[in-house]
Structure 1
Amino acid sequence: MLRILFTGGGSGGHIYPLVAVADEFAAMKGVSAQLSYIGPRSQFDGELSDRDIRVFQIASSKIRRYFSVLNFVDVPKFFWSVLQALYRVYRIMPDVVFSKGGPGSLAVVVAAKFYFIPVILHESDAVPGINNKVSGKLANRIAVSFPEAAKFFPKNKVAVTGSPIRAEMLQNHIPREEAKAKLGFRADIPLALVLGGSQGAEQLNDFVVNNIVSFLKFSQVLHQTGAKNFKDVSEAAALVTSGTEPATSRKYRAVDFFAPQAMKDALLAADVVVSRAGSSAIAEIAAFGKPSILVPLENSANGHQMANAISYAASGAAIIFERTNFTYHVVALKIKEIVENRALNEKMSSAAKSFSIAGSAKIIADEIIKLAVYL
């Protein structure tokens, strides 16, 4: 039996790709694998334990290149997490470690190299963070989602594989009109899907609420607010739309968070997606072939969201709006153009599908097996 150890930062962007690779192992015939995970405590731990992946916690610490008073806390926490990882990895003694990067993952990679255990690393963003830059020097193989990220790692170790996406997201797709009806929307009216990520995006939330009545004149809106913002956004939207006809107010719906099946239905139903430029969001939008408007988070680490957006938009699949030009009239004009111009919609959809690399999770799972068996 192969012993495979996963590690990552604990956010959805770290955990869901690990889950996608884990699902590939479960689907493989003739392969028996015991899967474990070491990382910081996370709200997504249930996604792992539901798949019989053993979960072990270690301290989370952020490595910074700049001065911050938080370094006085995080530097000692990092060394403590290395000691924890050395103990956990020794108890598991895996054949290979697969790291998604993020807080806590570097300690596990360091522990793996101490025990001469091969490591495969996945970098989701166009610009890697410091954890993965350091881990890349220790890894045996490195998979990247964006071609631009390859230059940060040794050429003989790196390959462009795309981002692993959960198997349930890619199976049993239904037509757009059917998906709209399933969600309670009208099939004959365009649907704009607004994604703020699992934590929500205040800028996107405010933009939607402030302009919701105008948007509903030409489109339906399905709006993911993030759990912490859901109550405030829902109440504000209800107040703004209270003076409209019931048929109009029903064209808007806010949700706090999308579980995998709900996210799949939302993407299938959407005519256009408005989203931050996180790597996981872009990967799913591309896999579903959806035209998109990307609004990169300005203060994302290393400017990775802008780098992601630029790389993806260069394919013709998306349009980028920065904070300075993210105004209703400009955005609404572009959304209307995308949903009403069939040729443009199909062109952007085709570009999105071409950007997506099919079978990313299986490619990585196969490489993990090769490392486990031959190194």
Structure 2
Amino acid sequence: MKRILFTGGGTAGHVIVNTALIPSFREKGYEIDYIGSYEGIEKELIGHMDDVTYHGISTGKLRRYMSKENVKDPFKVAKGILQSLSIIKKRKPGVIFSKGGFVSVPVVIAAKLARVPVVIHESDFTPGLANKLSFPFANRILTTFPETTEHVPEKKAEYIGAVIRDELFQGEEEKGKEMTGFKDGKPVLLVMGGSSGSENINEAIRHNLEALTERYNIVHLTGKGHKDDSYSRKGYVQFEYVTDELKDLLKLADLVVSRAGANAIFEFVALKKPMLLIPLSRKVSRGDQILNAESFERQGFAHSLDEEQITDETFLQAVNKLEEDKEKLKENMNRYEVQKSKDRVIELLQHYEKRKG
């Protein structure tokens, strides 16, 4: 029996590519396993998928800053390596695909110990810490941006572009209207601050509700625990987080305000959605989203607004400017061809799986 194991988690961005690939391997008759954390978002997104066996392991956060938890984390990672090694030896996958995030590190190390080939996918412009730690144990490292190959061991690197979920192209506008109740002809603004939400983006939307709803219908994905029913207004609907319904909301949307995670913004380009990107600040991140946003703005795919520059006024101006420029942005995005990167990933994974077998 052919078997493949996926890993990745911590944020939705470290899971989405896996959800794009899993159905293809299910159709090809593979037994599918997934290693994630005990209670991370990966369990929520993967745990309900048909014919996928989910395994939870211990994982540390691998912080770059000083913290008391740093003393405990190496022991958590060590425990995760032993747990992963046990799972790998028991399930005997032919190949492992890692999307990154802290949970992937013990899995990739265990795979090397078990002599199972590993393919890593790096979405961002520059590699994250978890993937950097995993690179020495990988057989192949795939990148979304061509520039990223400069930060990856040359003999292992391959630029393949973005892996886009097929289901995103199957959205139905009518279902989006049913979810939101929007019936007039106002343009629809979809606002999403990531799976955990963004306080700054949420506040900017809510402080400008009166002005924004005069011009737009707004779908606000607030993030877990950030929905606030005290903000009730015609033309404004809130959801904490959506999964299967996202394709319908994207089909309905004319404009998008979003963080600048690589997976999401490449999906917006593929769907030709003009976007205002508000990348995570360097104060709370390593700056990868800033580089992503700068790259997309240079290519004429998006506008961007630094988080430190957000005020009620600057946010409203930026949204209205996006509306004014949407046709030019869509014209630029029409020149971007969605590469057959998904097929290339599948081809590589099958190659390593056969070589292992």
**TM-score over 0.5 (shorter chain):** yes
Superposed displacement of residue 257, structure 1? 1.1
Superposed displacement of residue 157, structure 1? 1.9
Between the aligned partners of 2:211 and 2:243, the Cα distance in structure 1 is 29
Q: RMSD over aligned Cα, in angstroms?
A: 2.1
Superposed displacement of residue 223, structure 1? 0.8
Q: Identify the range of structure 1 (65-74 vs 117-126) with the bigger mean alpha-carbon deviation.
A: 65-74
Q: Structure 2: which amino acid aligns with 1:264?
A: K
Q: Structure 1: which amino acid aligns with 2:100?
A: G
Report the counterpart of residue 241 of structure 2 in structure 1: 257
Pairing partner for 1:351 from 313, 323, 332: 332
CA contact (8 A) 2:207 2:312 kept: no
Superposed displacement of residue 353, structure 1? 5.0
Alpha-carbon spacing, 1:78–1:181, altered in 2? closer, same or farther (3 Å): closer
CA contact (8 A) 2:37 2:43 kept: no
Between the aligned partners of 1:355 and 1:69, the Cα distance in structure 2 is 46
Q: Does 1:234 align with 2:232?
A: no
Q: Does 1:111 align with 2:110?
A: yes
Alpha-carbon spacing, 1:179–1:83, altered in 2? closer, same or farther (3 Å): closer
State TM-score, norm by structure 1: 0.87
Between the aligned partners of 2:112 and 2:105, the Cα distance in structure 1 is 11
What is the SS of the residue equivalent to 2:272?
A: coil
Between the aligned partners of 2:176 and 2:90, the Cα distance in structure 1 is 49
Report the counterpart of residue 371 of structure 1 in structure 2: 352
Report the counterpart of residue 33 of structure 1 in structure 2: 30
Q: Structure 2: which amino acid aligns with 1:364?
A: V
What is the SS of the residue equivalent to 2:51?
A: coil
Report the counterpart of residue 221 of structure 1 in structure 2: 218
In the alignment, structure 2 segments of 5+ residues that lack a partner are: none
Alpha-carbon spacing, 1:203–1:46, altered in 2? closer, same or farther (3 Å): closer
Report the counterpart of residue 12 of structure 2 in structure 1: 12
Q: Structure 2: which amino acid aligns with 1:338?
A: L
* Cα deviation code 1:167-221 (max 9, x no counterpart): 22223x45x6x57644422452112111112211100111111111011222221
* Cα deviation code 1:106-155 (max 9, x no counterpart): 11111111122111001111121121012122211111122232211122
Superposed displacement of residue 99, structure 1? 0.5
Report the counterpart of residue 256 of structure 2 in structure 1: 273
Report the counterpart of residue 241 of structure 1 in structure 2: none
Report the counterpart of residue 286 of structure 2 in structure 1: 302
In the alignment, structure 1 segments of 5+ residues that lack a partner are: 239-248
Q: Structure 2: which amino acid aligns with 1:330?
A: T
Identity of aligned residues (%): 33
Between the aligned partners of 1:69 and 1:201, the Cα distance in structure 2 is 26
Count of matched residue pairs = 352
Q: Does 1:169 align with 2:168?
A: yes
Alpha-carbon spacing, 1:133–1:44, altered in 2? closer, same or farther (3 Å): closer
